Amino acid sequence: MKDVKVKRTSRTVASPGRGSIRITERDLWVLEALAKMRFATTNQLAALFFDGSRWSANKGLRKLLDARLLNVWVRSLSEENIYSVTKRGLTAIEDENFTLSYETKPLRGLDENLNHLLAINDVRTSLVMTLPEAGGEIGWWRSDWELRSHGRERIIPDGLFLINWQGLKEQPYALEVDNNTRSSRNFMKKILAYASLPNRGKGIYGIADPIILIACSDRKWMERYRISVKQLRPNRRVWFATIEEIKREGATGAVWANGSEKRRSLLELTQGV
């Protein structure tokens, strides 16, 4: 029998004739998340919406891609797919009364700071996945592009968010991610500006007492940042962790360090502030 070659469907091209689908509630969650996160990888979306199954994620995302509700990019065959929501996807969200707190436009290409953005979304994904077991949930989240739409301040965090802890007060946090920055000096200036907030009696975008979480790709640079803040003055509101530890142990785990070498969980450091 003669071999028949089956052409594999491209990872980046929607299949013709599949433009009409029944949109499920999970589909809407995926579209809403991408509208808020801008870009997300297959693994991030699998963790958030497909119980960690890449096979299920690939199948579900392929359906949305064929319906032209998603865009997909492949930087190389060895890397994960990267997804964003299309104009049609945003319309689907609006038609189902899913509301966003700021104007969102479809993205025409990959962001020049994509690796930094994906690192932020790694931390955000980890928080969403690990907070329920730790006794908390995210009340709201504002990313830097959303904060900029409300006016520029001296410090613009990569993320500003609120966690509702069971049995505790609500606590706001500001997130900064250093993903192998080219300018460690500028990043250090920003950290020191955070450290000076209590002395200046000012908050960030109306938030008076955020805990500052610094996530770093490079442990060597993280230790330099941490020691610099420690030498400036004791500051119990600035905490450091590596992105590798956050991905491995979870953002709520005992990965956060301040002036001492002891690592604390997110709940422990919150209780100690």
pLDDT of residue 63: 95
Same domain? For 183 and 54 the reply is: no
- Please determine, for residue 139, whether its predicted confidence score (pLDDT) is greater than 80: yes
d(CA 87, CA 67) in angstroms, rounded, equals 12
Three-state secondary structure call for residue 233:
coil
Give the DSSP letter of residue 236. T
- Find the CATH number of the domain harbouring 14: 1.10.10.10
Same domain? For 74 and 121 the reply is: no
Same domain? For 178 and 44 the reply is: no
> CA-based angle 254:257:259, to the nearest 5?
145
Same domain? For 52 and 138 the reply is: no
Show the domain range for 156.
114-272
Give me the sheet containing 171-178, strands edge to edge.
136-143, 159-165, 171-178, 211-216, 238-242
Same domain? For 137 and 257 the reply is: yes
- Find the CATH number of the domain harbouring 184: 3.40.1350
pLDDT band at 148 (very low <50, low <70, confident <90, very high): confident
pLDDT band at 187 (very low <50, low <70, confident <90, very high): confident
Other beta carbons within 10 Å of 239:
25
Arithmetic mean of pLDDT, 166-192 = 82
Give me the sheet containing 40-41, strands edge to edge.
40-41, 81-85, 70-74
Same domain? For 145 and 219 the reply is: yes
Same domain? For 38 and 89 the reply is: yes
Q: Give the pLDDT confidence of 97-111 residue by residue, as tens digits.
A: 666 555 566 677 787
Domain boundary at 42, 75, 110, which?
Answer: 110
Distances from the Cα of 52 to the Cαs of 20, 42, 144, in angstroms? 27, 10, 27
Same domain? For 133 and 259 the reply is: yes
Count of domains forming the chain: 2
Q: Give the pLDDT confidence of 190-214 residue by residue, as tens digits.
A: 877 877 776 666 678 888 889 999 9
- Please determine, for residue 232, whether its predicted confidence score (pLDDT) is greater than 80: no
Domain boundary at 68, 92, 110, which?
Answer: 110
pLDDT band at 222 (very low <50, low <70, confident <90, very high): confident
Same domain? For 142 and 39 the reply is: no
Q: How many residues make up the chain in this entry?
A: 273
Nearest to 70 by CA among 51, 57, 53: 57
Domain boundary at 65, 93, 110, which?
Answer: 110
pLDDT of residue 21: 76
Q: Give the pLDDT confidence of 59-84 residue by residue, as tens digits.
A: 999 999 999 999 999 888 888 999 99
Between the CA atoms of 187, 191, 192 and 194, what dihedral angle is there, to the nearest 10 degrees? 140
The burial of 58, by beta-carbon neighbours within 10 Å (0-12 exposed, 13-18 middle, 19 or more buried), is given as: middle
Nearest to 105 by CA among 86, 79, 132: 86
Same domain? For 124 and 86 the reply is: no
Same domain? For 193 and 128 the reply is: yes
